[in-house]
Amino acid sequence: MIPHQELADALLTAYRTGEPVEPFTPRFPGATIEDAYRVQQLQVAAWLDDGDRIVGHKVGLASRAMQDMMGVNQPDFVHLTQRMFHLEHAPIPVGTFQQPRVEPEVAFILGRPLTGPGVSIADAIAAVDHVVPALEFVDSRISNWQIRIFDTVADNASSGGVVLGSRPTKLADVDLRLMGCNLFINGELRGTGAGGAVLGSPLNALVWLANTLGPMGVTLEPGHVVLPGSMTRAFDVAPGDSIVAHLAGLGSVTTYLAKEDQ
Amino acid sequence: MNDTPWTAQRLAEELLEAADTATSRTSVEAEWPELDLATAYRAQDAALDLRLARGEKLIGIKLGVTSRAKQKQVNIDTPNVAWLTDAMRLPAGEPVVVEEYIHPRAEPEIAFLLGRDLAGPGIGPETAMAAVDAVYAAVEIIDSRFAGYKFTVTDVTADNASSGRFVMGSVPASPFGLDLALEAVLVESGGEVIDSATGAAVYGNPAEALAFAANLLGERGHTLKAGWLVLTGGMTDAVPLTPGMSVSAQFSNLGSVTVRAQ
């Protein structure tokens, strides 16, 4: 038996103290992906009890390279809660993250509910109200990012924070698959990519998410934010770093991590 | 073993012979430590003279090692420039016959057709772009004459920057209003997305690469001519080609180029 609540509590403690936990996988080699999602749900339940609220979802492991690294053949997901969101151009306080890495994404804002299974690309397109450029901070409560698939899913799919850009664009006005993306950290070009790096198209990630959550009784709600996955690899960031992503046709999104003495 | 002393001329003859016979060799600099960059370019020019003497036509130039990521990978801190002749052109639809190469790899590139002469030094990206008549998608089939692509900066420069063949896209685009730094390419093989990048991966911007080439050639007394093609450098990692494989590069605004290996 996997002690779901004990693992959830260990991760919740790690969030509070900033002290990472040792990887779970060596202790529980037989743990399944379902066990990992159970651990994840227990933490989300604790946050909701504490007054946080669910405002969307993110898809992780959206590239073949990341899936191969984790030894899986599908993405993973997690709930996004209101407290994970930071405003553009506002400093993210020291201590918000433990081992942050940044990823450029295109965020979907839904206008209509989307309930799987059976969701098609056409359904997904119809449900999206608009898209905005986004920066996602991934983070790990597991020591030194020594994660296998069970660890990362249990640890809320290594989620950290989200910064959304403020200019909405309609889906019809942009080709998300062939949209270019440049990521700059402290003014230096670090990563480039195209939307198609995300499961062939970011919309594929939205379809996958709706069809995966549907059978669990979860609907993607109007107003919810969906982060489909990164267009580049993730890059380590530290206090004092400023980060900008430029997305062709969508504009840019900017954030920075406060310095130690701010 | 050849006992004659190394000269730029001997280097040109040996590397052209290696290209003609698809034979690889080891580093020249290892045998000829005095080989410097100026001598390497003289060898490149001598190889061009040999090509012209047998009837090939000079039709443009290419840049190599323009991406900072690539520069770090091969430990070379500046791009190099090399010659393109009509014999290096692979008509669209013609297969890449792998056995005609040593170890061919495909790279998506942004290419320029010059409408005016461009003579450095002192050229900036704006002046460089004013000489560009049209922008094209391209795929370059690179092929180093050095085993395992193990070479020094002088080796690869003398080797015409690993030139092999190149395939041009068929749709000319106006450079005006085109954001080349955010022009994306999605690289697919067998229908699967394997890589993506933008023009920013090319020396910050392909316009900067063109200016760099004009200035470097200007110092050597050469002018870029109206009607020449300029291949600005690989945007992604080069994809090794094996028989039966197809690689497609789809650009945001420049159309697509597909190569098929047999």
Q: What is the ipTM of this complex?
A: 0.90
CB contact under 8 A, A194 and B252: yes
pLDDT of residue A262: 62
Stretch B44-61: mean pLDDT, rounded? 98
A192 and B179 within 8 Å at the Cβ level: the answer is: no
- State the Cα–Cα distance between residues A154 and A38, nearest whole angstrom: 8
Whether B198 has its CB under 8 Å from any CB of chain A: the answer is yes
Q: Between A90 and B2, where is the model more confident?
A: A90
Look at A196 and B186 and tell me if their CB atoms are within 8 Å.
Answer: yes
Secondary element (H or E) of residue B108: strand B105-114
pLDDT for the residue B4: 84
Comparing alpha-carbon positions, the chain B residue that sits nearest to A201 is B193
CB < 8 Å from B in window 87-126 of A: none
A176 or A260: which carries more pLDDT confidence? A176
- What's the whole-number mean pLDDT along residues B11-17? 97
**What pLDDT shows up at residue A10?**
97
Sequence letter at residue A71 = G
Total tally of structural domains belonging to chain A:
1
Partners of residue B199 in chain A, C-beta under 8 Å: 180
Residue B112 · residue B183 · CB < 8 Å: no
| Contact across the interface for A192 and B201, Cβ inside 8 Å | yes
A227 and chain B in contact, CB less than 8 A: no
Would you state the structure tokens that stand for residue B149, as one six-digit string?
A: 């692509």
Do the Cβ atoms of A182 and B198 come within 8 Å?
yes
Please check whether residue B200 touches A, CB under 8 A.
yes
Selected residues 183-202 of chain A with any CB under 8 Å from a CB in chain B: 189, 192-197, 200
pLDDT band at B72 (very low <50, low <70, confident <90, very high): confident
Mean pLDDT value across chain B: 96
**Structure-block tokens of residue B59:** 């039709």
pLDDT at residue A116 in the model: 93
Residue of chain B whose Cα is closest to the Cα of A248: B182
Cα–Cα distance, B106 to B157 (Å, whole number): 19
**What residue spans define the domains of chain B?**
8-260
| Contact in structure between A91 and A81 (CB atoms under 8 Å) | no
pLDDT tens digit sequence for B128-149: 999 999 999 999 999 999 999 9
The domain spanning residue A174 has which CATH number?
Answer: 3.90.850.10
Q: Which of A182, A196, A247 sits opposite B181 (nearest CB)?
A: A182
Residue B12: its pLDDT value, please? 97
Which pLDDT score, from 0 to 100, does residue B181 have? Answer: 98
Indicate whether B71 pLDDT > 90.
Answer: no
Give the angle A255-A222-A122 at the CA atoms, nearest 5°.
100
pLDDT tens digit sequence for A135-188: 999 999 999 999 999 999 999 999 999 999 999 999 999 999 999 999 999 999
B1 has pLDDT over 70: no
Instruction: Tell me whether residue A262 is in a domain.
Output: no
Strand residue runs (E) in chain B: 58-64, 80-85, 105-114, 132-142, 165-168, 184-189, 192-198, 229-231, 239-240, 246-251, 256-260
The CA-CA-CA angle for residues B30, B31, B33, to 5°, reads 70
Q: What is the pLDDT of residue B55?
A: 98
CATH number of the domain at B8-260, please? 3.90.850.10
Query: Which residues pair with residue A105 across a beta bridge?
Result: A134
Please check whether residue A77 is in contact with residue A58, taking contact to mean a CB–CB distance below 8 angstroms.
yes
- Name chain A contacts of B204, Cβ cutoff 8 Å: 189
Residue A54: other Cβ atoms inside 10 A:
15
User: Which residues of chain A neighbour B201 with C-beta distances below 8 Å?
Assistant: 189, 192
pLDDT greater than 70 at residue A63: yes
**Between A192, A246, A248, which is nearest B252 by CB?**
A248
A143 is a domain residue:
yes
| A68 assigned to some structural domain | yes
For CA atoms B53, B57, B62, B64, give the dihedral sign.
negative
- Chain B residues touching residue A182 (CB < 8 angstroms): 181-182, 198, 200
Of A189, A196, A248, the CB nearest to B193: A196
Q: Is the pLDDT of residue A102 over 90?
A: yes
Distance CA B188, CA A38 (A): 36
Q: Which residue has 């110092």 as its token pair?
A: B219
Q: How confident is the model at residue B251 (pLDDT cuts 50, 70, 90)?
A: very high
What φ, ψ does residue A247 adopt, rounded to 5°? -120, 125
Range of the domain at A98: 4-257
Q: Which helix (H) or strand (E) holds B53?
A: helix B37-53
Q: Residue A188: closest CA among chain B residues belongs to which residue?
A: B204
How far is the C-alpha of A229 from the C-alpha of B260, rounded, in Å?
A: 30
B242 has a pLDDT exceeding 90: yes
A131 within some domain: yes
Residue A181: list chain B partners with CB under 8 A: 182, 184, 198
Q: Are A193 and B198 a contacting pair at CB < 8 A?
A: yes
Count of CB atoms situated within 10 Å of the CB of A166: 11
Per-residue DSSP letter, A259: P
Residue B54 burial (C-beta neighbours within 10 Å; 0-12, 13-18, 19+): exposed
